[in-house]
Amino acid sequence: MAFCANCGTAVNEGSTFCSGCGKAVGAGPQVVPVAQSVGAGGPVAASAGPVPFTSGTATGLAPNLAGALAYILGFITGVLFIVLEPYKRDRFVRFHAMQSILYSACGIVFRIGWSILVSALSEVSGWATLALVPVGLVISLGLFLFWLFLMYQAYSNREFRIPIIGAIAAKQVG
């Protein structure tokens, strides 16, 4: 009997693919013949070099990186990090994912309200529109810079809480 050099699974004689990792026996991993260990009495795989270790479960991203990435697309990445397996157990990642969802929702609500306000005031006076458009741009820049700050805080392993949103997010994740 031989072992796959890629994953260490026993490969039957005449097999063309490894049943453990699925790689071709002849092309990809080398099949290492079994040698008898001196004194131990059991089979030992003899290899020319180190055999790479592959685990059945991947640990994924580091929690600080996952927390920072939860802010990237707001709702989408926030929901993904809440439901994906390695991250849904990590309170730090869940907190930042939930805070990202709530921050995005508040940003969308603000944008809709601001658009309604600018539209209503533009009907009254054209000068109001000229005054409110630059103010809206400054507010949007501030929201963008705060978004970057939130990602930086998550990447720095800090649980920065936005005053109202952060308390709701912390309550949601437990």
CA angle 86, 88, 89 (to 5 degrees): 80
> What per-residue confidence (pLDDT) applies to 138?
93
> What per-residue confidence (pLDDT) applies to 122?
85
The dihedral over CA atoms of 21, 24, 26, 27, expressed in degrees to the nearest 10, equals: -110
- Token pair 């990792």 is found at 21
d(CA 160, CA 153): 6
Strand order in the sheet with 2-4: 10-11, 2-4, 31-36, 43-45
> What is the full per-residue pLDDT of the chain (174 aa) written as tens digits?
677 777 777 777 777 777 777 777 764 444 444 444 444 444 444 444 444 433 334 557 888 898 888 898 888 888 888 888 888 888 888 999 999 999 999 999 999 999 998 888 888 887 888 888 889 899 999 999 999 999 999 999 988 899 999 899 889 888
> What are the tokens at 159?
């649980």
> What per-residue confidence (pLDDT) applies to 11?
77
> What per-residue confidence (pLDDT) applies to 40?
47
